[in-house]
Structure 1
Amino acid sequence: MTFSDSPFWKTLNRFVEMRSPWLTLIGEHLEDHHGKRLDYWRIEKADSAVIVTIQQDFFIFPKPLYRPGVGEVTLDFPGGRIPPDTPRENVVREILHRELGVDETQCDRIIPLNPQGWSINSSFSNQKLYGFIVELAPNFNLDSDFIGATYPVDTQGICQLLQDLTCLQCRAVLLELINNYQSLCGF
Structure 2
Amino acid sequence: MMSQSEKCWQTRDRFLELHSRWMTLIGEHLQDPQGEILEYWRVEKADSVIVLPMLDDDLVTSGTHRILLPSPSYRPGVGRVTLDFPGGRVPEGQSPDQAAISALKREIGIDAVSITQLIPLTTQGWAVNSSFSNQKLFGFVAQIHNTAKLHPAMMAVTYPATLEGVQYLLRKLTCLQCRAVLLEWWLISG
Relative to the length of structure 2, the TM-score reads 0.91
Q: Does 1:29 align with 2:29?
A: yes
Q: Which residue of 1 aligns with 2:60?
A: none
Q: Does 1:99 align with 2:98?
A: no
Structure 2, unaligned runs of 5 or more: 58-64
Aligned residues, how many? 181
Report which stretch shifted further, 121-130 or 166-175. Answer: 121-130
How far off is 1:169 after superposition? 0.3
Structure 1, unaligned runs of 5 or more: 183-187
Moved runs in structure 1, 4+ residues, more than 6 A? Answer: none
Q: Which residue of 1 aligns with 2:97?
A: 89
| Equivalent runs, 1:1-187 vs 2, <5 Å | 4-8=3-7, 9-55=9-55, 56=57, 57-182=65-190
Q: What amino acid does structure 1 have at the position aligned with 2:79?
A: G
Q: What amino acid does structure 2 have at the position aligned with 1:173?
A: V
Relative to the length of structure 1, the TM-score reads 0.93
Counterparts of 1:4 and 1:178, CA distance in 2 = 34
Q: What amino acid does structure 2 have at the position aligned with 1:29?
A: H
How far off is 1:4 after superposition? 2.8
How far off is 1:72 after superposition? 1.2
Q: Is the 8 A contact 2:66 2:161 kept in 1?
A: yes
1:102-144 residue CA offsets vs partner (Å, 9 max, x unmatched):
1110100000001111101113320000000000011112010
Counterparts of 2:85 and 2:2, CA distance in 1 = 34
3-state SS in 1 of match to 2:85: coil
Q: What is the Cα-based RMSD across aligned positions, in Å?
A: 1.4
3-state SS in 2 of match to 1:99: helix
